[in-house]
Structure 1
Amino acid sequence: MKRFLGLVILVFLISCESDNDTIIQDTGLNGEWILQEVSCFCAFDANVDFSETRLIFDTDANTLTVINEGTDRFFKESGEYRYGGQNNILDFTDNTSYQFEIDGNQLTLIYLDNPQIADDEVVYSFRRP
């Protein structure tokens, strides 16, 4: 009986999931988003077309595809990126992190930077097409 109980406890301990598993709570990220505005301590030309930057989230595969159709890069280089994170924080494999908020057809990504440097805080505003 003691062996059976020990075996049950061992199986239970092995099958427990880690509390550090990746859990993004909002699947509303899934799909395409078009950049509308970048808010930062920087200046942009009045004729800048932010909409040339698109994001496509695949929440099933935890991937983000970035498409830059113009010459400017506002978010990341064009390509596919894997992400993880918990709750409303996206952690990318290039060691960048963003807090996200979805409000209807609006997505806000806030770059989580070094809080000691005031001039590198960037907020990206996207909308669904």
Structure 2
Amino acid sequence: MRKAVFLFTLLFVFNSCSSDDDVVDAALNGTWVLNKASCFCGFGEDFDFSGHKLTFDSSEQRVIVENTDDTWFVAESGTYTFINNGSTININGRLYTYDIEGNSLNLIFVDNPDIADDEIGLFYTKD
């Protein structure tokens, strides 16, 4: 009987420590088009941000990053997994706080205080 209780307890502990504790935010799903970037970046005032898109699939924890040229803000073009804990999102090893209000998504890079000028804010609209 003690073995059965021990095995049941052990099974319960291992099942409660799973990766399905990640947040699935349905509002994040869909394609987001970059409108503006606030950073110490070297682009001109007439830079066209609209070719930079993020397409999220929260149920698969996958994001497709699209860029129009060699310039990228979140990651190079490709498909990546992401981790969402509800207030921050980790895309390709880069951590961002995020906020969704209606059709607007704001990503703020969680910067390293030891590195000057690595702050960046990215402002998207749902497509």
Please state which band the TM-score falls in when normalised by the shorter chain: 0.7 to 0.9
Seen in structure 2, the aligned counterparts of structure 1 residues 95 and 72 have a Cα distance that, compared at 3 Å, is closer
Question: Which moved further from structure 2: 39-48 or 101-110?
Answer: 39-48
The answer for the alignment partner of 2:47 in structure 1 is 48
Aligned match for 1:15, one of 12, 28, 41: 12
Supply the AA of the counterpart residue of 2:43.
F
Supply the AA of the counterpart residue of 1:125.
F
The answer (yes or no) to whether the contact 1:24–1:89 under 8 Å persists in 2 is no
Structure 1 runs (4+) greater than 4 angstroms displaced: 19-22
Per-residue deviation, 1:87? 1.7
The answer for the alignment partner of 2:27 in structure 1 is 28
Supply the AA of the counterpart residue of 2:62.
T
The answer for the alignment partner of 2:37 in structure 1 is 38
Percent identical: 34
Seen in structure 2, the aligned counterparts of structure 1 residues 70 and 28 have a Cα distance that, compared at 3 Å, is same
Supply the AA of the counterpart residue of 1:79.
G
What SS does structure 1 have at the residue aligned with 2:73? coil
What SS does structure 2 have at the residue aligned with 1:123? strand
> Which aligned pairs between 1:1-129 and structure 2 lie closer than 5 A?
3=1, 6-16=3-13, 17-18=16-17, 22-24=21-23, 26-92=25-91, 94-129=92-127
Q: Larger C-alpha radius of gyration, 1 or 2?
A: 1
What SS does structure 2 have at the residue aligned with 1:100? strand
Distance in 2 (alpha carbons) for counterparts of 1:15 and 1:103: 38
Q: Alpha-carbon deviations, 1:27-61, whole Å to 9, x = none?
A: 21011100000001334312100011011000010
What SS does structure 1 have at the residue aligned with 2:31? strand
- The total of aligned residue pairs comes to 125
Distance in 2 (alpha carbons) for counterparts of 1:43 and 1:81: 26
What SS does structure 2 have at the residue aligned with 1:24? coil
Supply the AA of the counterpart residue of 2:95.
S
CA RMSD of aligned residues (A): 2.1
